[in-house]
């Protein structure tokens, strides 16, 4: 049965990004390079997790994850990832400002959703068919879906450093019941998978 999954890289103190994100600093102030070092410096050691991240058939993300642009859209901005984003599937971007879909190379099309998190999830489920849907982030978006009880499986990738401030997973989320599915330590990360109990 298709699931709603979420992968999030966080510091040991729970932050997925620092403060003051900009185009030059997509993960904000502070030494945020450690958040995703496991993906780029030791990809073979983490191949199973990287494959899981890429497996969903549709994705939902917040506008801040798509880019640092605020207010009305600058249509020249097409995301952080260049002409061939890593999703290779439909991506539904939460926003308050309407914008036409943005087709990219490799099968990714960004769709911009102004009707809220449940509408974006409905669209993503329809696009994914029998495949999983991923809530891709950032933490503010993930927290909205967690608070609404709309995530089935949460995969935390915990980097061995503290950030001290920024956007934290679980902020504003009511108490959750989690069942640990797995935990695996690697050189630059510990992967912990939870199933959310209803």
The structure tokens listed for 155 are: 């995969």
Higher pLDDT, 20 or 174: 174
Q: pLDDT tens-digit profile of 9-59?
A: 999 999 998 766 666 666 666 778 899 999 999 999 999 999 999 999 999
Angle between helices 139-147 and 117-128 in degrees, nearest 10: 90
pLDDT of residue 20: 65
Q: pLDDT tens-digit profile of 103-161?
A: 999 999 999 999 999 999 999 999 999 999 999 999 999 999 999 999 999 999 999 99
pLDDT of residue 22: 65
The secondary structure of 62-114 as a DSSP string is: EHHHH-S--SS--TT---TT-SS-S--SEEEEE-SS----EE-GGG-EEEEE-
């Amino acid at each position: 049965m298709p699931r709603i999954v979420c992968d999030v890289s966080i510091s040991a103190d729970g932050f997925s990004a620092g403060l003051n994100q900009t185009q030059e600093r997509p993960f904000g102030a502070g030494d945020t390079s450690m958040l995703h070092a496991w993906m780029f410096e030791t990809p073979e050691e983490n191949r199973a997790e990287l494959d899981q991240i890429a497996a969903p058939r549709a994705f939902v993300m917040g506008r801040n994850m798509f880019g640092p642009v605020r207010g009305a859209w600058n249509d020249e901005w097409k995301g952080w990832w260049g002409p061939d984003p890593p999703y290779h599937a439909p991506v539904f971007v939460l926003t308050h400002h309407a914008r036409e879909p943005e087709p990219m190379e490799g099968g990714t099309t960004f769709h911009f959703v102004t009707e809220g998190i449940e509408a974006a999830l409905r669209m993503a489920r329809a696009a994914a068919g029998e495949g999983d849907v991923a809530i891709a982030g950032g933490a503010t978006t993930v927290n909205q879906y967690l608070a609404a009880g709309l995530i089935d499986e949460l995969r935390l990738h915990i980097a061995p450093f503290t950030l001290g401030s920024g956007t934290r997973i679980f902020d504003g989320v009511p108490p959750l019941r989690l069942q640990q599915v797995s935990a695996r330590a690697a050189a630059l990360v510990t992967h912990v998978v939870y199933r959310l109990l209803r």
